[in-house]
Amino acid sequence: MTLHMPRKHLQFDFSQASVTCYFNTPFAAIEKLTDPDKAVLITDEHVFAKHRKKFRGWNTIVLKPGEQYKIQATVDVIIEQLIALGADRNSFLVGIGGGVVTDITGYVAGIYMRGVRFGLVPTSLLAMVDAAIGGKNGIDVGVYKNMVGLIRQPDWLLFDVDFLRTLPLPEWRNGLAEIIKHAAIRDAALFRFLQQHTIASLKRQPALLSKLIRTNVLIKMKIVTADEFEKGDRKLLNFGHTLGHAIENQYELSHGEAISIGMTYAALFSSSVNNFNDAEAVIALLKKYGLPTRASFDWKKVEQVLAMDKKKSAAGMQYIVLKKLGKAIVHPIPVQHLITRLKELN
């Protein structure tokens, strides 16, 4: 990555909206982005407990933390509190938290009084580089993740790495799995950068960490603004996610761990179909960031999940493979063939 000082804010245009990203910007700046009298902040108990001071003086709704609360009952709680606070169509919601908070805030903003404006302050590495970007939001229904939701962009996103001081190590790994994915599919220079650093070295250098986040926001924003409705390149973001999703729920792996295993198989598969030469480098990088590359799982169950995968088309799976580091392509393949080939890589 280059070392010149980049611009602090950038605007990204979608068909229906523009999103401004404020990089490396202290949280306190939200005062300039929204009127405190109209704003309602939404966060979770973990973020609130660790960053209490930041919320002082703001109307704040504090949610129970975790994926198990990304459900309709939480939406109802938020809506009841918004009503109690007198929130109206001119109110402005700010979601401050990991992907659960940013997804749910975007969803509530989309439906409260038929839609109010909102901004997001992602506080987990995963939310900064992935979940908060692209306008997809929503909630889970039973075992079905993200079953209900909207695509709707926030007015702005603010990135303050100070939040990451308190992020637990497993959550760093979750975020790094997506960062490694971005590097593998889009950015060989980022891949080399990651080879030269560690979580500890990034934590010690907030300015470098800010740049890393900016680079990853740009990668995802570029892909999603060019392909808002997942007709083309947005599919490339599914690298490692086909198998990853199929094993995530069954084996109680975190999302990052599951896609790390998914990326390992996808990289090895890429060697066999595409003469991809760097599968071992991908695997070594995942290991370097404390991510697993193997797990024993039940292929029958994997097959059942893949057969139901919502991203499946008539040609079968739209499996994402690497041509070289930084370049991914779609490889259509029938589900059964894919399973047979992946099993051979065991």
Ligand X SMILES: NC(=O)c1ccc[n+]([C@@H]2O[C@H](COP(=O)([O-])OP(=O)(O)OC[C@H]3O[C@@H](n4cnc5c(N)ncnc54)[C@H](O)[C@@H]3O)[C@@H](O)[C@H]2O)c1
Catalytic residues: 114, 136, 178, 220, 230, 234, 238, 241, 245, 255
Pick 214 or 342: Cβ nearer ligand X: 214
Q: Which stretch binds ligand X (CB under 6 A): 123-131, 179-187, 270-278, 293-301?
A: 123-131
- Which neighbouring-strand residues pair with 313? 316
Q: How many residues bind ligand X (CB under 6 A)?
A: 31
Taken in order 226, 239, 217, 57, the sign of the CA dihedral is positive
Q: Extract the runs of DSSP E, i.e. beta strands, from 55-187.
A: 60-63, 92-97, 117-122, 136-141, 144-151, 156-158
Binding mask 9-48 for ligand X (x = CB under 6 A): -----------------------------------x-xx-
d(CA 234, CA 151): 14
Q: Which of 54, 136, 214, 245 binds ligand X (CB under 6 A)?
A: 136
Beta strands 92-97 and 60-63 are unpaired
146 lies in the binding site for ligand X (CB under 6 A): yes
Q: Which of 163, 239, 289, 319 binds ligand X (CB under 6 A)?
A: 163
**Helix-helix angle 279-288:188-196, to 10 degrees:** 40
174 lies in the binding site for ligand X (CB under 6 A): yes
d(CA 260, CA 16): 34
d(CA 40, CA 142): 28
Q: Which stretch binds ligand X (CB under 6 A): 28-36, 82-90, 128-136, 329-337?
A: 128-136
126 lies in the binding site for ligand X (CB under 6 A): yes
Q: Which stretch binds ligand X (CB under 6 A): 3-11, 160-168, 242-250, 276-284?
A: 160-168
Contacts for 250 with CB less than 8 Å, ≥ 6 apart: 297, 298, 301, 305
Pick 47 or 283: Cβ nearer ligand X: 47
Pick 170 or 332: Cβ nearer ligand X: 170
Chain position whose Cβ is nearest to ligand X: 99
- Which neighbouring-strand residues pair with 151? 136
Pick from 190, 176, 188: nearest CA to 240: 176
167 lies in the binding site for ligand X (CB under 6 A): yes
Q: Which stretch binds ligand X (CB under 6 A): 61-69, 109-117, 209-217, 321-329?
A: 61-69
Pick from 278, 261, 280: nearest CA to 323: 278
d(CA 115, CA 137): 13
Pick 42 or 127: Cβ nearer ligand X: 127
Q: Which of 18, 90, 166, 340 binds ligand X (CB under 6 A)?
A: 166
Taken in order 301, 306, 307, 309, the sign of the CA dihedral is positive
Chain residues that interact with ligand X, rule: CB under 6 A: 44, 46-47, 50, 65-67, 70, 97-101, 103, 123-124, 126-127, 130-131, 134, 136-137, 145-146, 163-164, 166-167, 171, 174
